[in-house]
C-alpha cells in the first residue's frame, strides 16, 4: 500500500533546538522515505507470544522484568535490530540501530509524547493525589498541556549557568557526604555508599529548589521517608510503566505503593509550602529555582509548586545511583582515577574548591562522568509515541506507535564503541586518539530533544562535585564486588555499592 511521503513535522520553539543538532541531510533522509518501499508493520519480527495475553507473560517473567539489559540483548541476538511485542492490544517496537533512533527522534514534533506515563497520570488524578497537585499534571502531561508547562520552567532550569550558581553549596553538601562516609568505614576502610548517595542527591536538589536544607545527610525524618518511599516506587513501578491502572490496582503490593505515593506527595508539598511562605520576591539575592519560577509565573501559578515537588522526587534515585556507579567505576580503574586526581590537583589543588571556572577546564572529570553513564545508564532508553508515519529498520511504523530506543544496549555495543565494556574516559576527549566515532544517538543518557531531562544541569553538577571531592580526599578502591543491574523504573545496582576509602 502506498501511503506517500512522510510529512515533515512543524517545528515549535523547543523543537528547533533539538532538530538543529541533526544534519540537514539526515533530516531530509528521514523525511523522504517512501512508506510504500517499506515492509509492513505486521512483518516486524516478534518473539513467541501467548495466544491470549500476547507478550505480557514474557515481559513480566521475573528474570526478564528484573534485568531489561539482558532480556533485550537476547531479543536483539534472536530477532535483529528491530522487533515488536504485543501488550493489551498495543504493539510496541524496540530499536537497536542508532540511525533508526535518529529518525525517530528527528520526527518527534514540538511536543513529543513519552509513553509510560498514562498510569502515573491516572494516579495523579485520584482524589488523594489531587489534594497536593490540584489539576496540574506537570511534566508527566502530554501535548499542549506539557508544552505550556515545559516553556514555563525551561529557561530557569536549563540555562547553562542555572546550576553553577549553587556550586559552592553543593560542594559543601559533597563534603558532608564524604565526612559521613569516612565516619561509617569499617576497620578495612570499607563503606556502604548507596544510602549516603541518596541523601546527598536529595539534599542537593532540595537546596537548589527550595534554597533551604532538608537535613537528609543528618538523618531527618522527612529525608529518610522520602528515600524509603522513592526506593519502593523505583523497585515496584515497572508494571506501572506497561500496565493500565485498572490492572495495576490488582497487583499484590499496590496498597503499600499507594501509601508510599502519598509520602512522595505529602512531604514535598509541605516543604514547598513552607518555602513559599517565606519567599521574599524582592530579595534578588534569593536565587532558589522556586523563587525564579514564582517570579516568572506569578504567586498564583501552580507551576513552581508542582515543578519543585516533582524535582524533589525525580532528583533522588536518578542522581544517587548514577553517582554511586561513577565512584564504583573510578575505584575499579585506578589508573583513570590517578589521571583524574592529577587534573584535580592542577585545577583545584589538593584541598581547594571546585569553582565554576575550574570545572569548565576539567575535561577529564566530565569525561569520567560521561563514560560511567555510557557503561551503566540508569535509564533504559528513550521512549516515544510516534505522531507521524515513518520508516524504521525498513518497516512502516504508523503514527501512534510506541517505540523504545534500547539505549542501554547500544551504548555498550561493539558495533559503536571500541572495547565497549572498558571504562575509557579518553573516548570523550576530542584531542585523544581514542576519541569515539559512534553515532551520537548510540549514547543518550539524558534523552533527546524537547523532552530531554530537564534536571540534567543540576544532576551533572552534583555528580562532578561528588566525584571531584571524593577523589581529591580519598584513594577509592574496589572491594571485589561487581555491580549487576536490577531494573525497576530505573536500572540500579542490585545490591548496595561498597567501596574502600583510603585518605590521601
Interface residue with ligand HEM among 69, 211, 315, 488 (CB under 6 A) is 315
Interface residue with ligand HEM among 318, 369, 413, 491 (CB under 6 A) is 318
d(CA 333, CA 470): 15
* Sign of the torsion angle spanned by Cα atoms 239, 240, 245, 250: positive
Nearest Cα residue to 303 out of 159, 153, 450: 153
* Sign of the torsion angle spanned by Cα atoms 420, 324, 232, 115: negative
Question: x/- site string to ligand HEM, residues 105 to 144, per CB under 6 A?
Answer: ---------x------------------------x-----
Nearest-Å Rg of the Cα atoms of the chain is 23
| Main-chain dihedrals φ then ψ at residue 477, nearest 5 degrees | -130, 145
User: Which residue is associated with the grid cell 514555563?
Assistant: 152
Interface residue with ligand HEM among 22, 30, 113, 205 (CB under 6 A) is 205
Residues numbered 144-163 forming contacts with ligand HEM, rule: CB under 6 A: 150
Closest to ligand HEM by CB, 448 or 498? 448
Partners of 93 in the β-ladder: 84, 403
Stretch that binds ligand HEM, among 77-85, 269-277, 388-396, 444-452 (CB under 6 A): 444-452
Is the separation of the CB atoms in 401 and 383 below 8 Å?
Answer: no
d(CA 476, CA 338): 10
Closest to ligand HEM by CB, 6 or 308? 308
**Measured from the CB of residue 421, what is the shortest distance to ligand HEM in angstroms?**
20
Is residue 11 a contact residue for ligand HEM (CB under 6 A)? no
Is residue 459 a contact residue for ligand HEM (CB under 6 A)? yes
CB atoms within 10 A of CB 57: 12
CA dihedral angle for residue 275, residue 276, residue 277, residue 282, rounded to 10 degrees: 110
**Measured from the CB of residue 448, what is the shortest distance to ligand HEM in angstroms?**
5
Interface residue with ligand HEM among 337, 382, 413, 443 (CB under 6 A) is 382
Is residue 454 a contact residue for ligand HEM (CB under 6 A)? yes
Nearest Cα residue to 386 out of 107, 119, 171: 107
Interface residue with ligand HEM among 202, 314, 354, 468 (CB under 6 A) is 314
Which set of grid coordinates corresponds to residue 28? 531530509
Nearest Cα residue to 499 out of 326, 351, 357, 370: 326
**Measured from the CB of residue 180, what is the shortest distance to ligand HEM in angstroms?**
20
Stretch that binds ligand HEM, among 121-129, 388-396, 414-422, 443-451 (CB under 6 A): 443-451
DSSP state, residue 163: T
Is residue 380 a contact residue for ligand HEM (CB under 6 A)? no
Interface residue with ligand HEM among 69, 115, 447, 493 (CB under 6 A) is 447
Closest to ligand HEM by CB, 147 or 257? 147
Is residue 378 a contact residue for ligand HEM (CB under 6 A)? yes
Is the separation of the CB atoms in 348 and 309 below 8 Å?
Answer: no
d(CA 418, CA 436): 8
**Measured from the CB of residue 485, what is the shortest distance to ligand HEM in angstroms?**
14
Is residue 387 a contact residue for ligand HEM (CB under 6 A)? no
Q: Measured between alpha carbons, how far apart are the two ends of the chain, in Å? A: 69
d(CA 269, CA 308): 9
Nearest Cα residue to 263 out of 141, 132, 140, 137: 132
Is residue 455 a contact residue for ligand HEM (CB under 6 A)? yes
Interface residue with ligand HEM among 176, 199, 310, 477 (CB under 6 A) is 310
Report the half-sphere exposure of 409 (CA within 13 A, side-chain side). 23
Interface residue with ligand HEM among 41, 165, 254, 446 (CB under 6 A) is 446
Closest to ligand HEM by CB, 19 or 453? 453
Stretch that binds ligand HEM, among 46-54, 184-192, 342-350, 442-450 (CB under 6 A): 442-450
248 in helix, strand or coil? helix
Interface residue with ligand HEM among 379, 424, 476, 483 (CB under 6 A) is 379
Is residue 388 a contact residue for ligand HEM (CB under 6 A)? no
Residues numbered 36-65 forming contacts with ligand HEM, rule: CB under 6 A: none
Distance, CA of 21 to chain centre: 20
| Main-chain dihedrals φ then ψ at residue 467, nearest 5 degrees | -70, -45
**Measured from the CB of residue 313, what is the shortest distance to ligand HEM in angstroms?**
8
Is residue 328 a contact residue for ligand HEM (CB under 6 A)? no
Binding site for ligand HEM (CB under 6 A): 114, 139, 150, 205, 310-311, 314-315, 318-319, 322, 378-379, 382, 445-448, 451-455, 458-459
Amino acid at each position: 500500500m502506498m501511503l506517500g511521503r512522510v510529512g515533515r513535522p512543524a517545528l515549535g520553539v523547543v523543537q528547533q533546538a533539538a532538530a538543529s543538532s541533526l544534519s540537514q541531510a539526515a533530516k531530509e533522509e528521514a523525511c523522504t522515505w517512501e512508506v510504500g518501499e517499506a515492509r509492513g508493520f505486521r512483518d516486524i519480527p516478534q518473539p513467541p507470544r501467548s495466544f491470549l495475553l500476547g507478550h505480557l507473560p514474557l515481559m513480566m517473567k521475573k528474570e526478564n522484568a528484573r534485568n531489561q539489559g539482558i532480556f533485550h540483548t537476547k531479543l536483539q541476538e534472536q530477532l535483529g535490530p528491530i522487533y515488536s511485542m504485543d501488550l493489551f492490544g498495543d504493539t510496541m517496537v524496540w530499536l537497536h540501530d542508532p540511525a533508526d533512533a535518529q529518525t525517530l527522534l528527528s520526527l518527534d514534533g514540538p511536543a513529543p509524547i513519552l509513553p509510560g506515563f498514562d498510569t502515573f497520570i491516572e494516579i495523579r488524578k485520584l482524589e488523594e493525589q489531587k489534594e497536593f497537585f490540584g489539576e496540574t499534571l506537570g511534566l508527566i502531561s502530554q501535548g499542549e498541556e506539557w508544552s505550556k508547562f515545559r516553556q514555563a520552567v525551561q529557561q530557569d532550569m536549563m540555562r547553562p549557568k542555572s546550576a553553577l550558581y549553587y556550586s559552592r553549596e553543593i560542594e559543601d553538601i559533597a563534603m558532608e557526604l564524604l565526612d559521613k562516609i569516612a565516619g561509617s568505614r569499617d576497620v578495612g576502610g570499607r563503606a556502604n555508599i548507596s544510602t549516603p548517595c541518596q541523601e546527598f542527591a536529595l539534599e542537593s536538589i532540595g537546596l537548589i529548589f527550595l534554597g533551604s536544607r532538608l537535613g537528609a545527610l543528618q538523618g531527618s525524618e522527612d529525608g529518610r521517608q522520602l528515600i524509603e518511599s522513592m526506593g519502593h516506587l523505583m523497585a515496584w513501578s515497572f508494571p506501572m510503566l506497561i500496565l493500565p491502572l485498572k490492572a495495576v490496582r490488582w497487583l499484590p503490593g499496590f496498597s503499600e505503593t499507594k501509601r508510599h505515593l502519598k509520602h512522595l506527595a505529602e512531604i514535598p508539598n509541605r516543604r514547598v509550602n513552607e518555602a513559599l511562605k517565606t519567599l521574599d520576591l524582592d530579595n534578588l539575592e534569593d536565587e532558589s529555582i522556586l523563587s525564579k519560577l514564582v517570579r516568572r509565573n506569578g504567586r498564583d501559578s501552580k507551576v513552581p509548586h508542582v515543578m519543585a515537588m516533582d524535582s524533589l522526587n525525580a532528583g533522588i534515585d536518578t542522581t544517587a545511583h548514577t553517582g554511586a556507579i561513577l565512584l564504583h567505576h573510578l575505584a575499579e580503574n585506578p589508573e583513570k582515577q590517578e589521571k583524574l586526581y592529577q587534573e584535580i590537583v592542577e585545577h583545584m589543588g589538593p584541598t581547594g574548591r571546585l569553582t565554576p571556572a575550574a570545572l569548565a577546564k576539567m575535561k577529564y572529570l566530565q569525561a569520567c562522568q560521561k563514560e560511567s553513564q555510557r557503561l551503566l545508564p540508569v535509564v533504559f532508553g528513550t521512549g516515544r509515541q510516534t505522531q507521524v508515519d515513518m520508516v524504521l529498520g525498513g518497516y512502516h511504523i504508523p503514527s501512534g506507535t510506541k517505540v523504545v530506543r534500547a539505549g542501554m544496549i547500544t551504548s555498550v555495543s561493539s558495533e559503536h564503541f571500541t572495547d565497549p565494556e572498558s571504562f575509557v574516559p579518553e573516548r570523550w576527549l576530542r584531542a585523544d586518539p581514542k576519541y569515539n566515532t559512534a553515532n551520537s544517538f548510540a549514547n543518550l543518557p539524558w534523552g533527546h530533544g524537547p523532552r530531554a531531562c530537564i534536571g540534567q544541569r543540576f544532576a551533572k553538577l552534583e555528580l562532578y562535585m561528588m566525584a571531584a571531592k571524593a577523589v581529591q580526599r580519598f584513594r577509592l578502591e574496589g572491594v571485589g564486588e561487581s555491580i549487576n543491574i536490577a531494573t525497576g523504573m530505573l536500572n540500579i545496582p542490585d545490591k548496595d555499592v561498597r567501596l574502600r576509602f583510603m585518605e590521601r
